[in-house]
């Protein structure tokens, strides 16, 4: 697909991967609609772009998601690409994870993507083309300790994406899953600072947790990949070889469990209240 002139919706567009993707797509000539909760951040992004539409919406409000999609279609007349990027995480032990926190993570990371895609589908069918890019995570395969709700939400997104790819095979709508691995964004820091786990700030040392398994990459690097995904869609894209290896590791059961248990012990040793259970 030609990026220049393409209409692209990006969710979670206010910061991190979403912000970088919007700026990169705009620079490549795309017309970008940005959906996120923080309107001030979106307008700041738009001030650096040529043809951006700001669509403030709380992604836990599924009605607001649908209205934002409708507004983008109305404004541009069509939408060629939807990038389901919005994501939040919750750092907590499994025993302390509340249903409310689990529901919030699922709503933002999974249900909002389902809602946006379903709402946009009729327009894509009418125009006889479309590309959906879902931002996954190796956490969906590995089951990252202390981030169980995030892992569960990305696992749901992973399974749903594969179902879409199967159902829509041979149609004019293509579905890509992009796995970014560990990204140097504020999401991890926010989840740590908001955590109820005592001493969680110690985990801001990236060597303490899952980031120790793979080198973080920048949002700008992921944004370049996403622009290329629009040009040349593929079924699955990995941000680095370490992320690709992690996806393979997940299917070797004993090695996955050993690796993630080791990460859990590393993280617990950083927590004054946690200790090492083994």
Active-site positions read 150
User: In terms of Cα–Cα distance, which of 38, 43, 37, 35 is closest to 18?
Assistant: 35
């Amino acid at each position: 697909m030609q990026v220049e002139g393409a209409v692209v919706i990006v969710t979670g567009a206010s910061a991190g991967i979403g912000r970088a993707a919007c700026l990169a797509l705009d620079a490549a000539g795309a017309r970008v609609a940005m959906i996120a909760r923080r309107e001030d951040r979106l307008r700041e992004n738009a001030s650096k772009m040529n043809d951006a539409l700001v669509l403030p919406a709380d992604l836990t409000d599924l009605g607001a998601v649908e209205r934002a999609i409708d507004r983008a279609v109305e404004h541009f007349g069509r939408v060629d690409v939807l990038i389901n990027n919005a994501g939040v995480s919750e750092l907590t032990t499994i025993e302390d994870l509340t249903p409310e926190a689990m529901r919030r993570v699922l709503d933002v990371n999974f249900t909002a993507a389902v809602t946006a895609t379903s709402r946009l589908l009729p327009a894509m069918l009418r125009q006889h083309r479309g590309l959906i890019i879902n931002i996954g995570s190796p956490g969906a395969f590995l089951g990252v300790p202390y981030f169980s709700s995030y892992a569960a939400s990305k696992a749901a997104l992973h399974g749903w994406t594969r179902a879409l790819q199967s159902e829509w095979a041979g149609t004019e709508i293509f579905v890509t899953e992009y796995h970014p691995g560990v990204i140097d964004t504020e999401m991890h820091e926010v989840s740590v600072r908001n955590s109820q786990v005592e001493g969680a700030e110690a985990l801001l040392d990236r060597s303490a947790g899952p980031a120790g398994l793979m080198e973080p990459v920048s949002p700008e690097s992921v944004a370049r990949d996403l622009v290329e995904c629009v040009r040349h869609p593929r079924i699955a894209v990995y941000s680095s070889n370490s992320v690709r290896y992690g996806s393979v590791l997940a299917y070797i059961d004993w090695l996955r469990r050993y690796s993630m248990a080791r990460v859990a012990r590393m993280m617990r040793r950083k927590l004054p209240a946690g200790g090492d259970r083994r």
